[in-house]
Amino acid sequence: MKRLPIIASIMLLLVLAFPACEVENCPPNSMTYAHFTLVDQNGKTFKTSDTLTVIGQTYIQDSLVCDTFINKENGASSLQLPLSYNDETRFVIAYRSLDHRFVGTDTILIKHHNKPYFTNLDCGTMMFYTLTDVQYTHHRLDSLVMTNPNIDNNEKENIQIYFTVSTTDE
Amino acid sequence: MSSFIFCYGTAYAQEQKPKNDKETLKKEYAKTPFYQGSSVGVEVAGVIGHALGSDPISSEVLLQCNLKNRFMPALEIGYAKMDVTNDDSEMHYNTSAPYFRVGMDYNVFYLKPYLPGYLYVGLRYGFSSFSYDVNGPDMKDPNYGDITIPYSYTGIKSKAQWAELVIGIKVKIFKGFCMGWSVRYKKRVSAENGENTEPWYIPGYGENNTSNFNLNYNLIYNLPF
């Protein structure tokens, strides 16, 4: 019991020290992206030898808005692309393959449900998405598989893009 | 508060000690009646904190009974209100709701009822069912031109549960009046998220972190029955 005042003083000091320990819990990335992985016919990730350019497109009141997100990138094995705040976003992937003497494009149309999201007063809002449908052309790519329709700031793979890869491609 | 601790410590040091070897104390304790009385208290640190500039305001009523001067079941019923706008993010959050805690304290000094106070440790289970509003500036598409989406959600319902570990001191001030202060470590068990939001502040728990610390300061009256 003689120690009671000491214990009380320690408790008080601890309490006074608490405000200094406050931390902001904002996520490191407040932007959210659709994560694409390039896979070969066996489902294995590979680095493409093509030079890739990716343009995002969406319509705002009948006018087409475009932005280039990837410009002439070599050796890509995955793509991180932002979706629009509309309910659909189109990505045009332009390939330039020296090995195959191929120049062309594929178009991926993604329909999505947008989810404005709030976690913390200090961090503001973020846009999360749920993918509802994916359509695509297959000039160079073979097919698309949606592996995870939910896009948030956890940076998980959402879509696999299948290509037919010969040994010279890798 | 700290001057009180000092005064109390000095007064205690000068106190004449009765026979208090462990065997005597145990024999005395064995005679202690099961029911030792009840007390009612009010928590004031939440109001003082708000007066000093903290955003939330809260208060609670504490009901506690004393069994064998050792086990003290407690019920705490409180009300908290948070209405704040962040200057940087311009987000506004508003909630006000009651909360409940049940649990028990354990008197570490149960063998020494002659002392004017005691140190205790305790556990609580906390619960709140509340609704909240969140709104903020319009969200502008950072990549695709001039698309804006408003952000305003009101009346989002949520429920939260948490556990608390309590360490505190209760001392007599005057006749049946006591005061007590405690440090609480709170651990979130669950908190329901909305479709577009997570509750940022939970009444009775504080900010929606995985764990929180806070200080309680109670003014207590020992009921005469």
Domain regions of chain A by residue span:
4-169
C-alpha to C-alpha distance for A53 and A93, rounded to whole angstroms: 6
Give the model's pLDDT for residue B211.
95
Minimum distance, in Å, between the CA of residue A169 and any CA atom of chain B: 32
How distant is the Cα of A117 from the closest Cα of chain B, in angstroms?
5
d(CA B222, CA B136): 47
In a domain, B206, yes or no: yes
Whether chain B has a CB inside 8 Å of the CB on A2: the answer is: yes
DSSP code per residue over chain B: -HHHHHHHHHHHHHSPP----HHHHHHHHHT--SEEEEEEEEE-HHHHHHHTT-S-EEEEEEEEEEETTTEEEEEEEEEEEEEEE-TTT--EEEEEEEEEEEEEEEETTTT-TTSSEEEEEEEEEEEEEEEEEEEEEEEE-SSSSS-EEEEEEEEEEEEEEEEEEEEEEEEEEETTEEEEEEEEEEEEEEE---SSB--SEETTTEESSSEEEEEEEEEEEE---
Q: Convert the pLDDT of each residue in B63-112 to its tens digit.
A: 999 999 899 999 999 999 999 999 988 999 999 999 999 999 999 988 88
Residue B106 covered by a domain = yes
A7, A69, A120 member nearest B119 (Cβ): A7
Say yes or no: B136 contacts chain A, CB-CB below 8 A.
yes
Decide if B28 is inside a domain: no
Q: What does the pLDDT look like over A66-104, one tens digit per residue? A: 999 999 988 899 999 999 999 999 999 999 887 777 788
pLDDT value of residue B111: 83
Does residue B2 sit within a domain? no
| Average pLDDT value for chain B | 89
Closest CB from B8, B9, B151 relative to A116: B151
Assigned domain for B18 exists: no
Q: Is the pLDDT of residue B174 over 70?
A: yes
From A4, A14, A118, residue closest to B119, measured CB to CB: A4
Confidence band, pLDDT 50/70/90 cuts, at residue B225: confident
Chain B residue with minimum CA distance to A23: B209
Report pLDDT digits (tens) over A28-50.
777 899 999 999 999 899 998 88
List chain A residues with CB under 8 Å of B117.
4
Structural domain harbouring B196: 34-222
For residue B27, is pLDDT > 90? no
- Residue at B27 is within a domain: no
Single-letter amino acid code for the residue at B178: C
Q: Is residue B10 part of a domain?
A: no
Q: What pLDDT is attached to residue B114? A: 83
Of A98 and B52, the structure prediction assigns the larger pLDDT to B52
**Contact flag B112-A116 (C-beta cutoff 8 Å):** no
Please compute the mean of the pLDDT values over residues B175-194 and round it to a whole number: 94
Task: State the total domains in chain B.
Answer: 1
Q: Is residue B17 part of a domain?
A: no
Spell out which residues of chain B touch residue A15, defining contact as CB-CB under 8 Å: 183, 213-215
pLDDT in tens, A128-167: 999 999 999 999 899 999 999 999 888 899 999 999 887 6
CATH code (residue B94): 2.40.160.20
Residues 50-69 of B with CB under 8 A from A: none
pTM: predicted TM-score of the whole model, two decimal places? 0.81
What pLDDT is recorded for position A70? Answer: 92
